[in-house]
Amino acid sequence: MPPRDAQTESLRLWVVFARAHAAVAARAQADVARHGLTVAEFGVLEALHHKGPLLLSELKEKILVSNAGVTYLVDRLEGRGLVVRRRCDRDRRAYYAHLTDDGTAFVERIFPEHAAAIEEAFSVLAPDERAIATELLRRVGLHAANGT
């Protein structure tokens, strides 16, 4: 297998990958936009809902935005009464983001439809295909993120 062919196939995979991502992301975006959220905002709510209160720095790792982005998103969600900041006992620099009761109720209300939208987006795959895709992309992600 000469380098050129591996390269051509990788480029082709990247095009396909990027298009698939754009298509699924567009569905996700359309779904959360119905509730007045951006995908990133929804990501914050979802992470807090599933993981419990997180340091802003932890949140940053979960939803893959910049430091300033976390501040921006938490500010916005705080403004909507869905999230509050609480000081960290151990580190005077740090804050946890917590869902409010309203925030929890909101996520519990909107999450099922979002989950259904994502399920539908991948419904073209059989269960075993989905598991294969997950495993392959997991490895790509780890490698591309860490160069390992």
List residues binding DNA (CB under 7 A).
38-41, 55-57, 60, 65-75, 85, 88, 90-96
Min. distance of Cβ 56 from a second copy in angstroms? 19
3-class SS of residue 117: helix
Asked if 68 interacts with a second copy (CB under 8 A), we say no
Asked if 142 interacts with a second copy (CB under 8 A), we say yes
Question: From the list DNA, a second copy, none, which binds 13 (C-beta under 5 to 8 Å, kind-based)?
Answer: a second copy
For residue 140, how far is the Cα from the chain centroid?
17
Stretch touching a second copy by CB under 8 A, among 7-15, 73-81, 89-97, 100-108: 7-15
3-class SS of residue 98: strand
Residue nearer to a second copy on the CB measure, 91 or 108: 108
Asked if 33 interacts with a second copy (CB under 8 A), we say no
The sheet carrying 95-99 orders its strands as 54-55, 95-99, 83-87
Min. distance of Cβ 86 from a second copy in angstroms? 26
* Residue 58, both tokens: 């932890």
User: Could you write out the DSSP letters of every residue in 31-65?
Assistant: HHHTTT--HHHHHHHHHHHHH-SEEHHHHHHHHT-
**Interface residue with a second copy, options 40, 88, 94, 121 (CB under 8 A):** 121
- Alpha helical stretches, state H, the chain: 3-33, 39-51, 56-63, 67-79, 101-121, 127-146
Q: Which residues make up the interface to a second copy (CB under 8 A)?
A: 1, 3, 6-7, 9-14, 16-28, 64, 115-116, 118-119, 121-125, 127, 129-134, 136-145
